[in-house]
Amino acid sequence: MDRFLSEHVMALHSGTASRADSTNASQQVQPNDAAANSNLRDSLRLRPGEKIDHIPPPLLRKYVAYARKYVHPWLTAGATQKLQTFYLELRKDHRTIDSTPITTRQLEAMVRLAEARARAELREQVTESDAEQVIEIMRCSLFQTYEDEEGTMDFSRSQMGTGVSGTSDVKRFVAKLHKVSQETYNNMFTFSMMQTIATEMGLRFTNFQDIIDRLNNQNYIIKKGPRSYQLTTF
């Protein structure tokens, strides 16, 4: 049923693709190669010495008005597949009563964000890169739902629907992994590397393997091989 509903939603936003001829497709404004090959956080980060050239408000208003009136992006097959796959994964992992509810509203919201991303660059096609950046935003949003009123991680609201002892320590640990990743320009960690980081932070987890397994199940890290993990971007 989830797959059927998601296919229906995606079809509503990708129907234009079947009517687009090859001439129009060849004339599409292509996304910037550097932006397409980088994640959202990297593409938004200012480089050393880089300055922002602000767009005059009157010109910006005209640009937005033009994009709204004349640019109507449609989803490519690659973008459709990525958004649908991510949505189905969320649906599969959010089935417990106390977990964050995931409905077709989230899927439609991701589609609209992806379309807006393409429209901002006056593109008629929503690319896989657009979909990946929207998924990154969604992951960040889900990450925020794990925080309780005191700012600590409440994994009872997580995809697994179960709690994790020392939730504030888990939050600190994940934040530290991101900091190390940014400093070393490397998002790959071995189990022993993460264990060393936790030890250096003075964290005392009763079962460190269980913590790693839960982070992997909740997509904060992705297992890439025997005791090797990739840190996901939020």
Could you tell me which residues come within 8 angstroms of residue 23 by beta carbon, excluding any fewer than 6 positions away?
none
Q: What pLDDT is stored for residue 53 in this prediction?
A: 84
- Residue at a domain's end among 121, 145, 169: 145
**Same domain, yes or no: 26 and 98:** yes
CA 113 to chain centroid, in Å, comes to: 12
Q: For strand 125-126 and strand 188-190, is the pairing parallel, antiparallel, or unpaired? A: unpaired
Q: Give the C-alpha separation, 213 to 112, whole Å.
A: 33
Q: What pLDDT is stored for residue 204 in this prediction?
A: 84
The model's pLDDT over 77-114, given as tens digits with 9 standing for 90+, comes to 999 999 999 888 877 766 544 445 577 888 898 999 99
- Structural domain boundaries, residue 38: 2-42+55-145
Q: Give the C-alpha separation, 201 to 197, whole Å.
A: 6
- Answer whether residue 123 is part of any domain: yes
Residue 17 carries which DSSP code?
Answer: G
Q: What pLDDT is stored for residue 152 in this prediction?
A: 46
- Answer whether residue 48 is part of any domain: no
The DSSP element (H or E) to which 221 belongs, if any, is strand 221-225
Q: Give the C-alpha separation, 25 to 124, whole Å.
A: 8
Q: What pLDDT is stored for residue 37 in this prediction?
A: 53
Residues of the chain with pLDDT under 50: 16-29, 33-34, 96-99, 149-155, 158-166
Q: What pLDDT is stored for residue 16 in this prediction?
A: 46
Mean pLDDT for all residues in the chain: 77
Count structural domains, the chain. Answer: 2
- Answer whether residue 227 is part of any domain: yes
To the question of pTM greater than 0.85 for the whole model, the response is no
Q: What pLDDT is stored for residue 32 in this prediction?
A: 54
Neighbouring C-alpha atoms within 13 Å toward the C-beta of 6: 21
For the record, the structure tokens of 202 come out as 């003075």
CA 188 to chain centroid, in Å, comes to: 18
How would you classify residue 202: left for phi > 0, otherwise alpha for psi between -120 and 50, otherwise beta? left
Q: What pLDDT is stored for residue 73 in this prediction?
A: 93
